DNA sequence: CGTGTGGTTGAACAATGTCAAGCTCTGTGG
DNA sequence: CCACAGAGCTTGACATTGTTCAACCACACG
């Protein structure tokens, strides 16, 4: 199932030349902050599509920032039922929950090949001591995740199947677009099984639901993913206001 | 509908004698931290049952810690469908999301009379600058909320109606018990409408689902609330591991 | 060539929602 | 003290939504 290949490198991209920092989506950093983070970064990690980055129950010594690629966080029940909680994309810090509170209570898997910046959990407290604005950013990052989960919960709990699907695709589209991820592929690299497990639906019903959206010319389902034709139309159908457009911090 | 009565007091309970601090559930504080927080606290606020504490879209200048009472966070769709996101109880910090990120994107309402400690948003950065361990606690608090939302999402997305209901009641029971909230009443002060809006079900179906749990002698539905007969049984039925039993910080 | 993964479809069935009515409290005003 | 109204709970009949099962298809890959 999961090809668990992972390769560790020494530091390749220095934070000062991080390709993500030039995106208008992220806030600017002080030189001092940048230097600190560069020292905080221990190296880079490459994982294959399908690889598990974190497993529920683990106590990881590391946390990561996604440099490139797509992945998702999920939880499972004992009998195998799976719920996808959220998707991770470049600039996202993963493993913070586990680093702050101890044990990881969800798993994280790669949807595409992913490259990661590696940080060490034990050095987190140094960050809090020496760089209060970065500490604030960490709380900001956790609050943002909370906010997104609020919206997902509203979606799964109260939106109809069509609305839910429309919301999910609109959400992924907005995030990916802000990160300029559609320069090469234009396709969101998920299967209908992923959509089903995110929306709390069966694959069969998900398939029929996506067909309805395709019939309305809102999206197109390709091999290995989804192409968005009308992101605003999807958001409107879902009754969703869209994401914050302001700049956000990242570590 | 909402009786919006609220009364502001000067500081009544000094943080050094906060009744919550003596609970084994919370972590101990340094004298220095306690002094800082005591200065951070601007007063106390009393709100009636049914009152709205935060409204979606507002930019509140304050954040609060619950001293006593029950409440809940929720979001609504334009046509009125409501999703309850989580419940708030003594020791919970509310309004952090809004304080960190700007606008509040959910509402908060009191289930019972609530007393609140009042803090000012503008002084948050002082906390980050002067007390790194407290800053860490704030991130911890945000991460904890995230973790709870993860579990809720799993519940609403993948558990059956009976499992969901069992999980919710077990969850509320465990939290309230850890806070010694059942000394007086033994009853969780919610209506079946609240349960329905938390689980993403209709009230009618919720009623029938709760009857099944009552038939199994797991709980008892009273006027104005729910009494738990077998918390472990509920958790087991839901396939839920329960909350962390460790101490947690609070501000 | 097989084989596997992911997508598609229809039919039977189960879970949940909607509607409508009635019931039991509690609080309120006459 | 009684009548009434409203909130919350309960129940049954029926409609809708979503699930399960069982095929089958198309394509990529070894």
Q: Can you give the pLDDT at residue B6?
A: 67
Average pLDDT of span B124-139 = 97
pLDDT band at B4; cut points 50, 70, 90:
very low
Rounded Cα gap, residues B118 and A26, in angstroms: 32
Distances (CA, A) of B223 to A158, B190, B195, B248: 27, 10, 14, 33
Structurally, what CATH architecture does the domain formed by A150-238 represent? Orthogonal Bundle (1.10)
CA distance A138 to chain B (A): 7
DSSP A171: H
Hey, what's the torsion of the CAs at B107, B112, B115, B117, to 10 degrees? -30
Q: Quick check: A224 pLDDT over 90?
A: no
**Domain B151-238 class?**
mainly alpha
Contact B96 A199 (CB under 8 A): no
Give A131's pLDDT tier (boundaries 50, 70, 90).
very high
Mean pLDDT of B13-21: 89
Contacting residues 218-237/B vs strand C (CB within 7 A)? 223
| Mean pLDDT of all residues belonging to chain A | 94
Is-contact A183 A192, C-beta < 8 A?
Answer: no
Q: Do A200 and B150 touch (CB under 8 A)?
A: no
Contact yes or no for A220/A151 (Cβ under 8 A)? no
Chain A nearest-CA distance from B185, in A, is 30
Q: Per-residue pLDDT averaged across A143-166, rounded?
A: 98
Please choose, from the candidates A180, A203, A179, A177, the residue with its C-alpha nearest in 3D space to the C-alpha of residue A190. A203
Per-residue model confidence as pLDDT tens digits over B52-111? 999 999 999 999 999 999 999 999 999 999 999 999 999 999 999 999 999 999 999 999
Among B15-24, B137-146, B156-165, B171-180, name the one with the lowest average pLDDT. B15-24
| Residue B141 pLDDT greater than 60, yes or no | yes
* Chain D positions with a protein C-beta closer than 7 Å: 7-13, 17-22, 27-28
Pick A170 or B12 by higher pLDDT.
A170
If pLDDT is split at 50, 70 and 90, which confidence band does A10 have?
Answer: low
CB atoms within 10 A of CB A53: 23
Least confident stretch, A4-18, A33-47, B80-94, B216-230:
A4-18
CB contact under 8 A, A135 and B139: yes
How far is the C-alpha of A196 from the C-alpha of B111, rounded, in Å? 34
Q: What is the pLDDT, as a whole number, of residue A7?
A: 72
Q: What is the CATH number of domain B6-131?
A: 2.60.120.10
Please tell me if the domain spanning A6-132 has the same topology as the one spanning A150-238. no
Q: Report yes or no: A35 at the B interface, CB cutoff 8 Å.
A: no
Per CB-CB distance under 8 Å, the chain A contacts of B73 are 150
DSSP code string of B23-76: STTB----HHHHHHHHHHEEEEEEE-TT-EEE-TT---SEEEEEEE--EEEEEE
User: pLDDT over 70 for what percent of chain B?
Assistant: 96
Asked whether residue B200's C-beta has any atom of DNA/RNA strand C within 7 A, the reply is yes
Shortest CA gap B184–chain A (Å): 32
Residue ranges of B 230-249 with Cβ closer than 8 A to chain A: 239, 244, 246
**Residue-range domain boundaries for chain B:** 6-131, 151-238
Instruction: Decide if A104 contacts A56 (C-beta within 8 A).
Output: yes
Half-sphere exposure of B179 (CA within 13 A, CB side): 25
**A143 vs B78, B142, B199: nearest CB:** B142
pLDDT, chain B, mean: 94
The pLDDT value given to residue A2: 40
Give B-chain residues touching A81 at CB under 8 angstroms: 158-159
Give the nearest chain A residue to B154 (CA atoms): A83
Name the nt closest to B208 by C-alpha to C1': D10
The predicted-structure confidence for B210-239, as pLDDT tens digits, reads as follows: 999 999 999 999 987 999 999 999 999 999
Looking at residue A4, what is its pLDDT? 47
Stretch B116-127: mean pLDDT: 96
pLDDT band of B117, cuts 50, 70, 90: very high
Give residue A1's pLDDT.
39
Q: What dotted CATH number matches A6-132?
A: 2.60.120.10
Partner A contacted by B123 (CB < 8 A) = no
Which residues of chain A does B200 touch, with a Cβ-Cβ cutoff of 8 Å? 156-158
Provide the pLDDT confidence category of residue A137 given band limits of 50, 70 and 90. Answer: very high
Contacts with A78 (C-beta within 8 Å, 6 or more apart), sequence order: B239
Within residues 133-192 of protein chain B, the ones with CB less than 7 A from nucleic strand D are 191-192
pLDDT band, very low/low/confident/very high, at B10 (cuts 50, 70, 90) = low
| Contact residues for B189 (Cβ-Cβ < 8 A; gap 6+) | B70, B111, B112, B224, B225
**Which percentage of chain A shows pLDDT scores above 70?**
96
Task: Flag whether pLDDT at B151 surpasses 80.
Answer: yes
Other CB atoms within a 10 A radius of the CB of residue A242 amount to 13
CA B226 to each of CA B167, B214, B230: distance values in angstroms, whole numbers, following the listed order: 14, 10, 12
CB count within 10 Å of CB A11 equals 13
Q: Is A188 helix (H, G, I), strand (E, B) or coil?
A: strand
Residue A11 has pLDDT above 70, yes or no: no
Indicate if the pLDDT at residue B147 is higher than 90: yes
When CB atoms are compared, the residue of A105, A125, A158 closest to B150 is A105
Contact of B90 with B176, CB cutoff 8 Å: no
Q: Which nucleotides of C are covered by protein (CB under 7 A)?
A: 5-11, 15-20, 25-26
């Amino acid at each position: 199932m999961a090809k668990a290949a992972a390769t560790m490198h020494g530091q390749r991209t220095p934070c000062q030349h991080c390709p993500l920092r030039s995106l208008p989506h992220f806030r600017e950093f002080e030189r001092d902050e940048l230097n600190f983070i560069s020292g905080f970064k221990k190296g880079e990690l490459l994982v294959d599509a399908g690889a598990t980055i974190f497993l529920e129950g683990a106590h990881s010594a590391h946390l990561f920032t996604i440099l490139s690629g797509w992945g998702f966080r999920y939880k499972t029940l004992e009998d195998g039922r799976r719920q996808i909680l959220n998707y991770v994309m470049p600039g996202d810090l993963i493993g913070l929950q586990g680093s702050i509170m101890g044990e990881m209570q969800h798993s994280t898997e790669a949807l595409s090949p992913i490259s990661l910046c590696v940080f060490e959990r034990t050095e987190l407290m140094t960050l809090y001591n020496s760089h209060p604005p970065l500490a604030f950013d960490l709380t900001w990052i956790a609050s943002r995740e909370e906010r997104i989960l609020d919206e997902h919960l509203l979606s799964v709990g109260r939106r109809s199947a069509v609305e839910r699907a429309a919301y999910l695709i609109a959400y992924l589209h907005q995030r990916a677009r802000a990160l300029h991820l559609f320069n090469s592929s234009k396709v969101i690299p998920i299967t209908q099984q992923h959509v089903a497990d995110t929306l709390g639906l069966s694959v069969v019903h998900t398939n029929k639901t996506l067909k309805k959206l395709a019939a309305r010319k809102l999206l197109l389902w390709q091999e290995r993913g989804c192409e968005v034709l009308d992101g605003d139309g999807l958001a409107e159908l879902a009754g969703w206001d869209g994401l914050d457009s302001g700049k956000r911090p990242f570590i």
